[in-house]
Structure 1
């Protein structure tokens, strides 16, 4: 995989009832900016769900509009080989490199930990949650 030149958290959001974080990534040898979606896992880790090629122009789409196909999912294109098996080594190296850029891992862990604790509707461990009044 290519060396990460820049990685910035763009937003924390929720898609299809799943908490996620969008990170813009500039990688060595790519003209395009990638938008990488990370989500928390059940074992308190962080995993990458999708990688999008961002074809939007900030001059035109100053509010980051994704309604006109400006984001194309390139996850399979980046991490599949000819036999249609996932290149887990490359994928994991890419994830590790993004998460180790600056304070990205720390910020994601903190955000996902806080949103997990604050969730009133998370029924898996309701008895263990502490609610502040």
Structure 2
């Protein structure tokens, strides 16, 4: 089990036509800062899409630096494959630990609720689509 020591929403952004929230996480037993990427689902839950290890440095990343990989996807390293039942449970505990930390769940819920309401298209079928902008 990975215990969450700190969690804070870093930004809301769009990746591959899906609105995402990046949550910076410090966890017990995990070196450095992790970025947990969440997207909302139709049922008002949150899907953990990826987990990245943040290796960005202000000294070398203040511009578009391709000399190193500042954000490495560590989802498989942390949780293995979804079919691996023993590690899949730790993934769910990790998600719940982040969402339960402080006001993370409430902030995500409010942001995505407002995103749906403010949709440019504001049609009846908006609720069935993954965030329009």
- Evaluate the alpha carbon distance shift between residue 28 and residue 105 of structure 1 in structure 2; reply closer, same or farther with a 3 A threshold: same
Instruction: Indicate the residue corresponding to 2:130 in structure 1.
Output: none
Asked whether 1:6 is paired with 2:20, we answer no
Instruction: Indicate the residue corresponding to 2:18 in structure 1.
Output: 18
1:29, CA displacement in angstroms? 1.6
Structure 2 residues without counterparts, runs of 5 or longer: 128-133
TM-score (norm 1): 0.82
Instruction: Indicate the residue corresponding to 1:79 in structure 2.
Output: 79
1:11-50 pair list within 5 angstroms: 11-50=11-50
Asked whether 1:125 is paired with 2:125, we answer yes
Tell which has more relative contact order, 1 or 2 (C-alpha 8 A, sep 6+): 2
1:54, CA displacement in angstroms? 0.7
1:85, CA displacement in angstroms? 2.5
2:6 and 2:62 map into 1 onto residues whose CA distance is 20
- State the superposition RMSD in angstroms: 2.5
TM-score (norm 2): 0.82
1:88, CA displacement in angstroms? 2.3
1:48, CA displacement in angstroms? 0.6
2:123 and 2:71 map into 1 onto residues whose CA distance is 33
- Indicate if the aligned counterparts of 2:116 and 2:126 stay in contact, CA closer than 8 A: no
